[in-house]
Amino acid sequence: MSSIDIAVDAVPSGTAGERLGAPSHRAPSPKRRKSGGFTPYLLLVPGSVVLAAVVGWPLIQLVIISFQQYGRAQVFGAPAPFIGFDNYLKVLSDQQFWNVLLRSFSFCVVNVVVTMALGTLIALLMTALHKFFRTLLSIGLLLAWAMPALTATIVWGWMFDTGYGVINFVLTNWFGLGYHNHSWLINPLSFFLVATIIVVWGAIPFVAFTIYAGLTQVPGEVLEAAQLDGAGTVQRFRLVVFPYLRSIFVVVIILQVIWDLRVFTQIFALQGIGGIREQTSTLGVYIYQTSLAGGEYGIGGAIAVITVIIMMAISLYYVRQSIREEEL
């Protein structure tokens, strides 16, 4: 008997048949049905009802008021006549609205850029610090984050006070600059400088903690490989870290844009301390001055609806760009 015959006899018949014959095509197994049925949808009902009651109904009322002639008389029960798009035409033809919109966008862009830059740098610093110093830094950030916006504005307003503010004292006595009894809030440019400091100071902790949480999920092996390949610190962040955290950056930027466009407390409080309302109002304050202070609730509702549309358009643009980049 030859060696080939011995090898064939040693192989079981079933196995040999399978190996020598043509490969069999098995029928695809049917897809498993998703477990749960309607249970996930039923679990969403309570949250959806609460969300519709808290957010949806007031938004619907806002849209309805924006199409009505709604003033102080209507608050006390007078009928509110339907006037169509007249409120929107008045808003869009008002030069003051466009000035406020441009001012709000400029203020928002500066705040978002400064907040994202400083928050990212602090997050990177937290990854390099010792645990003890990282804990101290985290406590400081939490204290800044926990302070209410009105309280922070009052404290910063004291620091920039004309007569006894510590900022004027330091600039005058330590650096020899002529800032004795200098008023920071009268000039619109310096007013928004103070407002930017307050807004950025309160927003940095959220950005720093969020990005730091993402940095802890970046694989260390990838960073070490990039370093061995000769990539510097900036190149590692741009080519390795940022692609991992792209979705986090998109979400944080969207939230910062929305929050900074509708900022109200800081601007309103600083105006009460010494700012000029006509030259420093942003969208949130302008809506308040038009509706609650001015009694034009219909026009104020139209401005609010336009603001919501602008913020939704910005959010949808960034989300679409993020999804498109992930698909590529």
Spell out the domain ranges in the chain: 88-327
Torsion-angle region of 267 (φ positive above 0: left; ψ -120 to 50: alpha; else: beta): alpha
- Sequential pLDDT tens for the chain (328 residues): 444 444 444 444 444 444 444 444 455 544 545 556 788 888 888 888 888 888 888 889 889 999 998 888 888 888 889 998 999 999 999 999 999 999 999 999 999 999 999 999 999 999 888 889 989 999 999 999 999 999 999 999 999 998 888 999 999 989 888 888 889 999 999 999 999 999 999 999 999 999 999 888 888 787 778 777 777 778 888 888 888 888 888 889 988 998 999 899 999 999 998 888 888 999 999 999 998 878 889 999 999 999 989 888 888 877 776 677 666 6
pLDDT of residue 51: 84
Which CATH number is associated with domain 88-327?
1.10.3720.10
Q: How far is CA 313 from CA 22, 54, 112, 319, in A?
A: 58, 22, 17, 10
Give the count of alpha carbons within 13 A of 231, CB side only: 16
pLDDT of residue 275: 84
- Burial class of residue 285 (count of CB atoms within 10 Å of its CB; 0-12, 13-18, 19+): buried
What is the chain's Cα-based Rg? 30
Average pLDDT over the chain reads: 84
Give this prediction's pTM: 0.79
Q: How far apart are CA 184 and CA 151, in angstroms?
A: 19
Going by C-beta distance under 8 Å and a sequence separation of 6 or more, which residues neighbour residue 70? 80, 297, 298, 301
pLDDT, tens digit, 9 for 90 and up, residues 209-264? 999 998 888 887 877 787 777 777 788 888 888 888 888 888 899 889 989 998 99
pLDDT of residue 10: 44
CA angle, 121 then 104 then 280, to 5°: 110
Q: How far apart are CA 271 and CA 83, in angstroms?
A: 34
What token pair was written down for 263? 């900022």
DSSP H helices, 216-291, are 220-228, 233-236, 242-244, 246-261, 265-273, 277-280, 283-288
What token pair was written down for 279? 């030259």
